[in-house]
Amino acid sequence: MVSNEALYLHELEKRWFMVAGEGLVFLTLLVIGIYKTRQSFRKEFQLARQQKNFLLSITHEFKSPLAAVKLNLQTLQKRHLSKDQMEHVLSNAISETDRIDNLVENALMATRIEAKNLDMLLSEMDISACVNNVLTGIRSTTGSEVVIESNIEPDIFILGDILAISSLISNLVENAIKYSTSDTKINVTLATKRNNALLIVADNGIGISDNEKNEIFTKFYRVGNEETRRTKGTGLGLFIVKHIVDLHHGRVEVRDNEPKGTIFEISIPSLKSVI
């Protein structure tokens, strides 16, 4: 027969296990709760910081080209310039206005992406001609120290939105220029590969570390090193590029160039060439 004392001890042990078990469950839930709250605080904090950086940079981005346009106009007003000088001042003012235009375009597009309101007007378009047009525009505004080499296969057609595709190309090429030294060479290639239009933009610039390669497509994200901070930007360009590629059922890849720099590779399904 089991003594009363043994029964009592057994009961006590059972209760102890029960209390310890409940305590353990409670503690686990508490730890998970604290972890999740911390995680969401961190995300909120990061977003708030990125938004603050964005506001600072967009204000700066607007102010500096506006100041440059004003200065150019004041020069025209106050000085008697030769025809050549006048053309130089005017083309400076136009390229600064283009900068403001691109900035507004990117901000509008990012807002429409956020509102899930970025409809693509897809139609058969000649992406070869589009790349050539964008490059002509960029070459006309950059100095002769920036060399953009291009190898564009003619007559590649895709189902695309011409404005969105132009914005994608110009964001990639402008970045390649921005994150390189001024005497660098940029290579732009367009070719067909396995029923895809393949656009490659390669530079020999500052490069992107492996752990940043996935982050750069996030809204407002700018790599946090000194070289990037010295350049102008809002962290919207690649966010827009990624969305445009997705809406065209394409793919974007980023990898290191040799000996240094970055290669962006975009592939978008191509249509049969129209002769």
- Contacts to ligand ADP by CB under 6 A: 171, 175-176, 179, 203, 205-208, 216, 221-223, 228, 233-239, 262
Rounded to a whole number of angstroms, the minimum distance from the CB of residue 109 to ligand ADP is: 12
Q: Based on CB atoms, which residue is closest to ligand ADP, 102 or 196?
A: 102
Q: Based on CB atoms, which residue is closest to ligand ADP, 128 or 262?
A: 262
Q: Based on CB atoms, which residue is closest to ligand ADP, 87 or 101?
A: 101
Q: Based on CB atoms, which residue is closest to ligand ADP, 157 or 233?
A: 233
Rounded to a whole number of angstroms, the minimum distance from the CB of residue 18 to ligand ADP is: 55
The alpha carbon of residue 264 and the mean position of all alpha carbons in its chain are separated, in whole angstroms, by 11
Strands 157-160 and 147-152: unpaired
Rounded to a whole number of angstroms, the minimum distance from the CB of residue 214 to ligand ADP is: 11
User: What Rg do the C-alpha atoms of the chain give, in angstroms?
Assistant: 28
Of the candidates 70, 40, 245, 203, the residue with the CA atom closest to the CA atom of residue 253: 245
Q: Based on CB atoms, which residue is closest to ligand ADP, 99 or 222?
A: 222
Rounded to a whole number of angstroms, the minimum distance from the CB of residue 260 to ligand ADP is: 10
Q: Tell me how far apart the alpha carbons of residues 102 and 164 are, in angstroms, rounded to a whole number.
A: 12
Q: Based on CB atoms, which residue is closest to ligand ADP, 159 or 217?
A: 217
Rounded to a whole number of angstroms, the minimum distance from the CB of residue 136 to ligand ADP is: 21
Rounded to a whole number of angstroms, the minimum distance from the CB of residue 178 to ligand ADP is: 6
